[in-house]
Amino acid sequence: MTACDDKILLLNALVDGELDAANVIAVEQHVKTCPGCAETLADLKAVRGMLASPGVNYVASEPFRRRLRIALEAQARGAGTGRLGSRRPLRWPVWTSGAGLAAAAACAMLVLGVQGLSSPLGDELVADHVRSMLAQHLMDVPTSDRHVVKPWFDGKVSFAPTVIDFAGKGFPLAGGRLDYVENQRAAALVYRRRLHVINVFVWPAKTGDRLVRDGARNGYNLVHWTAGGLNYWAVSDLDRTELDQFRDLYVSALRN
């Protein structure tokens, strides 16, 4: 028996505690009526339990972690810059047998080992971006009207993000969302480029802010700029050239 295709990522996210309350309720209700998803959820919880049991929590040596990280980065580069769907093989597989379960547990340990490495801002933002698409919580205010998006943030964040629509340049505004970055409230502005989504995270810049280089993580690109005392970080699976083009548009619009 297998889980529904469109629920596998949600079931993983549920077990990992990555879903918001509304999605937790929705997934749990689905599981009550779907034997395949119920069985998969039980397996996922069993793996979680195995990983938490004494003696299993193996800490890999630093040289091993380094080799693993290089291998995973090479794999991610090889996967190209496809859409979210192509990321699926990097997630935990669905396990259906005892052998599969053991293999999955070993695989999960490797994944946990990698996640246990330093978690800089870039990793957090990519995780936020992926989660926003995964949990179908991309937007709190789904509108292309910047005169609606900007005031929506009043009282929700302590700053006024500059909201610009670039529909004329092929980057239409799709909406906004309240998010959290580095334990503080951030405005997330959502743009689209064809079928791709760009999340722009905005929050107040502090003097002495860590300088994090723009980069790529698992096929996602990040670009960063500051303006008017605010940090702007754009994250997308869009290719580097187009994301740079988006940043250039944004930066020059903020100057005007």
Q: Looking at residue 90, what DSSP letter applies? A: G
Cβ-based nearer residue to Zn ion, 32 or 194: 32
Cβ-based nearer residue to Zn ion, 35 or 228: 35
Nearest approach in angstroms of CB 35 to Zn ion is 8
Nearest approach in angstroms of CB 212 to Zn ion is 39
Question: 193 forms bridges with which residues in the sheet?
Answer: 196
Residue 209, phi then psi, degrees to nearest 5: -55, 140
Cβ-based nearer residue to Zn ion, 30 or 247: 30
Nearest approach in angstroms of CB 5 to Zn ion is 9
Helix, strand or coil, per DSSP, at residue 232: strand
Cβ–Cβ < 8 Å for 175, 166: no
Cβ-based nearer residue to Zn ion, 37 or 202: 37
Cβ–Cβ < 8 Å for 96, 88: no
Nearest approach in angstroms of CB 135 to Zn ion is 17
Cβ-based nearer residue to Zn ion, 3 or 108: 3
Q: Which residues bind Zn ion (CB under 5 A)?
A: 4, 7, 34, 37
Tell me the two tokens of residue 241.
């050239």
Nearest approach in angstroms of CB 36 to Zn ion is 5
Exposed e or buried b for every residue in 40-73, given b needs 16+ CB within 10 A? bbebbeebeeeeeeeeeeeebeeeebeebeeeee
Cβ-based nearer residue to Zn ion, 34 or 251: 34
Nearest approach in angstroms of CB 170 to Zn ion is 37
Cβ–Cβ < 8 Å for 176, 187: yes
Helix axes 21-33, 35-52, angle to 10 degrees: 120
